[in-house]
Amino acid sequence: MKVLISPESVEEAMSVIDYGMDILDVKNTKEGSLGAQFPWNTKRVVEACREKGIKTSATLGDLPFKPGTAALAAYGVAQTGVTYVKAGLHGMNTYEQAFEMMDAIRKAVRMVSDTADVVASGYADWRRFGGVSAFDVVKAARDAKCDLVMVDTAIKDGKTLFDNMSVQELKDFVKAARDAGLGVALAGSLKFEHAERLFEINPDLIGVRGAVCEDSNNRHTRICPKKTEHFVQMFHAGPAAFKAKAVA
């Protein structure tokens, strides 16, 4: 299982760049769950990661329903050379709106790059704020010819991915994504204790921040390099590693 780590700043990104993550995520949590980072910071991280062969992702924000604004943002982000362009479909509540957004974003990215993957991000807690359902996000991503789909949590109040969607719902989400030919990622205050359920659901990718921070209960504390290395190693090793640790 691949692991994405989300630093809050260039300095924090550089402190963990050598600790084995598959993807280094560039975002600004001061502006939300998928808050957008400044382009000059994104560019610095992308260039540093490219030298080390690490893939990068960058978020466009927790977006309102403004396809033109989102497309222009996507056009700019794609010019940094990032591997994945992620859009948080926060201000939408229908499939039609989600499709219009992702169609515009994909077209804008393709004006710049034939290789950058376009990621449609829904929210596991969509029912709490009246957002578009995770399953409609899958349909919109498929029809807009995106590359991946994911869910995160928009409301960071201690509730996790699993507080908002059941294991069966998440299995159905992953299956729907794969049936649509999409890669699939899960995020949302994930921790070590969620490992067994994550391996059971088996997404392509998981994204974390809080779990590898100095204070695992406060995602605004600094990321700890040793925790990052341990987390990545354990998830790369697979479910047997967690079972062995539990027995020990």
The catalytic residue among 27, 43, 55, 139 is 27
Q: Is the pLDDT of residue 244 over 90?
A: no
Class of domain 2-247 (CATH, top level): alpha beta
Q: Is the pLDDT of residue 248 over 70?
A: no
Mean pLDDT of the residues in the chain: 95
Show me where the domains of the chain are located. 2-247
Residue whose tokens read 């598959």: 22
The predicted structure's pLDDT at residue 246:
55
Does residue 27 have an active-site annotation? Answer: yes
The catalytic residue among 43, 55, 86, 139 is 86
- Please report, rounded to a whole number, the percentage of residues in the chain having pLDDT higher than 90: 91
pLDDT band at 247 (very low <50, low <70, confident <90, very high): very low
Does residue 86 have an active-site annotation? Answer: yes
Nearest alpha carbon to residue 92 among 118, 74, 66: 66
The predicted structure's pLDDT at residue 120:
99
pLDDT tens profile 64-113: 999 999 999 999 999 999 999 999 999 999 999 999 999 999 999 999 99
pLDDT tens profile 117-133: 999 999 999 999 999 99
Alpha carbons 75 and 70: distance in angstroms, whole number: 9
Cα separation values, 87 from 6, 18, 67, 135, Å: 15, 27, 11, 16
pLDDT tens profile 137-169: 999 999 999 999 999 999 999 899 999 999 999
Pairing between β-strand 117-123 and β-strand 148-152 as defined by DSSP bridges: parallel
Q: Which residues pair with 122 in a beta bridge?
A: 151
Nearest alpha carbon to residue 102 among 132, 81, 57, 80: 132
The predicted structure's pLDDT at residue 243:
67
Angle at the Cα of 5 from the Cα atoms of 233 and 235, rounded to 5 degrees = 25
